[in-house]
Structure 1
Amino acid sequence: MTHPTSPDHALPLAGITVVAIEQALAAPLCTCRLADMGARVIKIERPEGDFARGYDAAANGSSSYFLWTNRGKESVVLDFKQPDDAALLHRLIASADVFVQNLAPGALTRAGFDSATLRERHPRLITCDITGYGTGSETSKLKAYDFLVQCESGLVSVSGAPDHPGRIGVSICDIGAGMNATIAVLSALALRSRTGAGSGVSVSLFDGAADWMSVPYVHERYGNGAPAPQGLKHPSIAPYGAYRTRDARDIVISIQNDREWAKFCAVFLGDADIANDARFQTNNARVQNREALDTLIGAAFAARPLVEALSLLGDASIAYGQLRAVADMAVHPALRTWPMATGGEPLQMIAPPVRAPWDAQRFEAAPKLGEHTARIRAEFAGVAEEASA
């Protein structure tokens, strides 16, 4: 079944149908990426709707979270606890290639829609389960919202400022789980193209966060302990952090090797001999003597205005970035935006991060609650439940 609004059949997932029982962020982000690649995504919602619809009203009266992760989908309202709606859901899944869900563990098992049962019934079906902590452990039944997983995984313990650990400022565990789920589904589709058989894949918010914590984990278990929050500094590389100019602008520099350090000393600090100071000759030495290093570099930045500092950094071929607020990012020359239709004025939304030949250069609208219910009910009224993907 082709995506109803994508005439370009060169889209990589044209002809793929995804049925999703999803809410919040992780699963909707996964299926949004699949929709961007041409899949038809049928989003199953409860009568009150995906609760992300009510997270905020920043997007011209709509939720920024919901618009970001639900463009190009079809919304169907049904209650699979009711026999008629359960039968419709079975017919939808029978015609699908992929089934994605992120409900609480056990919710679909009780209703007969668990992934193992569905794959047994439809051998070509790919199922993707997104959970907070996976299955089979004492934490499996815990509610797992993004910030809670940031805390449980240790992400917060290495973030923020010294003595003030802090939440990462976006829903990073949800986002990571959504991207991992996308990778998992695409991998299962590739395997099915060779074997003809579907697969069951699963991801959890905690697994994704734990994977990102590999370096602190190794330092904790086998080194001298995990790094404490560093603020605008890197725990293992120096100089790698923010320095303030004479006109109160913050520049972040990153020096990755001793060759770069020597050039920085000669061009920016104006003294090539500093590179040979025993306290600063190697990265390990610079990390151990970070306070003296930062005092030296900080004084050089404080003596120069932003324009001069950036010019010298360019002359020295040093990697740098400016510490920007969201308002600055919104007008950044590298930022790409695409128009997205809404009920009111069109929005300029940030373009997807993957640049590909099949980019549509526009965003389809996110569906209104139950917008496609009547059409979907009519379309699948005569579909046999025994059909397979």
Structure 2
Amino acid sequence: MNMKMENFAHSKPYSELLVVSIEQAVAAPLCSCHFAEGGARVIKIERPEGDFARKYDKAVKGESSYFVWANHGKESLCLDIKNRDDAALLHSLLAKADIFIQNLAPGASARAGFDSDDLRRRHSRLITCDISGYGDTGTYRDMKAYDFLVQCESGLVAVNGAPGAPGRIGVSVCDIGASMNAIIGIQQALYLRSRTGAGSGVKVSLFDTAADWMTVPLMHTVYGGKAPEPVGLHHPSIAPYGGFATADGHVLAISIQNEREWVRLCAEVIGDAGLASDPRFSDASLRVKNRSDLDALIARFFEANTRGDLAEKLRNAGVAYGGVNSVETFSRHPQLRRRGVTLESGETVQLAGAPIQYSFEDPQASFGRIPKIGEHTEAIRREFVRVEANV
């Protein structure tokens, strides 16, 4: 590695950024955590009692799985932003900040004197990001917007689950998606600032995020006259597609999306080349129309073979497949990367590796430590009181 690359390797992409975030739960903390992973200094503003996500569970050696996942590498500053002195300190922080993120209830930050538009007028380079449940206008503006409720309101649960039994997606997908959209918006604002010198405002809501994902079902409903229904592991317009039990008690999923794969499945996996031209199954629409017969046929074949044998045949034939794994099985998956993180207690645990891998970063490097409630409060007060005095 030459000297230039060595220097670059020690400078993460956000290493010169200061991010200040009044955050709680998942969406905003996960967003700011991305910037911490990228090298930014992230100051997490908490109530004196701490972010309530700290107490969601005790699954990680007595600490919250949600909090550990979304808060490593940050500094924790406890403030009461309604208190005049604490508000003054926050204003001092924001005068030096590059990014301000908040996911308080709609209007709460403005009532406390931290309206995003006002802040950008005061600090021209500041980028603000407001994350909400339903946006800052409309009749749903003040509705509670927990992830599950947004999944329900947006129709996500209506297209998930099994027939007759709509189901919640088993992770906080609206929170996660809103966080990713916030990151995209902030990155775009940073790029714009690099050209214009001016900060801008980003607004993201959980509902808008879910609505975007629901575009295809929405178009089917509005223009096609019929919404997709929950089909479990199946697909409403593709067959064969789904999970099938094996002789040794596992479930393998297959997804046949073109005629070439269909022919190979019949000839090289099932061992019946003539099945590909069966009048019931000879094209994609016929396979969907006769799904029950087709699924029964494939189910019988899978039930007579072990997972290992089927996986070998499917892989050799170039047929798309995957295991329908439990979380326990997933935890031992050969493709699962791990990355260490140090808990408040000082113990170390392994999280899933970051989804983004940089060419200049050691993939074995640990994430930053989980901060204790208010751990950095006094140090930050001293630092920014000095900064204010020197201005």
Cα offset, 1:383, TM superposition: 2.8
Residue aligned with 1:268, SS? helix
Q: State whether residues 9 and 361 of structure 2, in contact with CA within 8 Å, keep that contact through their aligned partners in structure 1.
A: no
* Residue 382 of structure 1: how far off its partner (Å): 2.9
Give the conservation status (yes or no) of the 8 Å contact 1:237–1:283.
yes
Counterpart for residue 354 of structure 2: 352
Task: Give the secondary structure class of the aligned counterpart of 2:203.
Answer: strand
Q: For the Cα contact (< 8 Å) 2:177–2:206, is it kept in 1?
A: yes
Q: Say if 2:22 and 2:44, in contact at 8 Å, map to a contact too.
A: yes
Contact 2:48 2:78 in 1 (8 A): yes
Contact 1:133–1:207 (CA<8 Å) still a contact in 2? Answer: yes
In the aligned structure 2, how far is the partner of 1:128 from the partner of 1:386? Answer: 29
Q: Does the C-alpha gap of structure 1 residues 77 and 358 become closer, same or farther in structure 2, counting only changes over 3 Å? A: farther
1:44 aligns with: 45
SS at structure 2 position matched to 1:129: strand
What corresponds to 1:76 in structure 2?
77
Change (3 A) 1:120 1:35: same
Indicate the SS of the match to 2:114: coil
What letter is aligned with 1:65?
Y
Is 2:284 the counterpart of 1:296?
no
The residue that corresponds to 1:262 in the other structure is: 263
Q: What is the distance in 1 between the residues matched to 2:223 and 2:69?
A: 41
How many percent identity over aligned positions?
Answer: 57
Q: Which amino acid aligns with 1:246?
A: A
**2:4 aligns to what?**
none
Shift of residue 385 of structure 1?
Answer: 9.8
Query: Aligned to 2:378, what secondary structure does the other structure show?
Result: helix
Deviations for 1:44-72, whole angstroms, at most 9, x for unmatched residues?
A: 00111100000001111111100100000
Match of 2:149 in 1: 148
Identify which of 376, 383, 389 aligns with 2:387: 383
Q: Give TM-score scaled by structure 1 length.
A: 0.95
Structure 1 position 341, deviation (Å): 1.1
Q: Which runs of 5+ in 2 are unaligned?
A: 1-7
Aligned CA RMSD, in angstroms, stands at: 1.5
Distance in 2, matches of 1:64 and 1:138, equals 34
Q: Which residue in the other structure is 2:373 paired with?
A: 369
The equivalent residue for 2:176 is 175
Q: 1:3 corresponds to which residue? A: none
Number of residue pairs the alignment of both structures matches: 381
- Tell me the secondary structure at the aligned position of residue 340 of structure 1: strand
Distance of aligned partners of 1:176 and 1:385 in 2 relative to their CA distance in 1, 3 Å threshold: farther
Q: 223-232 vs 352-361, which deviates more?
A: 352-361
SS at match of 1:382: helix
Shift of 1:274: 1.5
In structure 2, the CA distance between the partners of 1:56 and 1:153, relative to structure 1 (3 Å rule), is same
The answer to whether the aligner puts 1:279 opposite 2:283 as a matched pair is no
Question: TM-score scaled to structure 2, two decimals?
Answer: 0.95
1:311 maps to 312
- Rounded Cα–Cα distance in structure 2 between residues aligned with 1:207 and 1:282: 37
- The AA in structure 2 aligned to 1:382 is R
The one-letter code of the counterpart of 1:378 is: R
Aligned to 1:4: none
In the aligned structure 1, how far is the partner of 2:24 from the partner of 2:237? 38
Structure 1 gap segments, 5+ residues each: 1-6
Provide the C-alpha distance between the structure 1 equivalents of 2:388 and 2:237, rounded to a whole number of angstroms. Answer: 59
Are positions 1:18 and 2:19 aligned together?
Answer: yes
**In the alignment, which residue of structure 2 is the partner of 1:93?**
94
Deviation at 1:386, TM superposition (A): 12
Task: Give the superposition deviation at 1:9.
Answer: 4.5
More deviation, 246-255/350-359:
350-359
SS of the equivalent of 2:387 reads coil
- Residues in 2 aligned to 1:339 and 1:192: alpha-carbon distance in whole angstroms: 34
Contact 2:281 2:287 in 1 (8 A): yes
Structure 1 stretch 19-28 or stretch 337-346: which is displaced more? 337-346
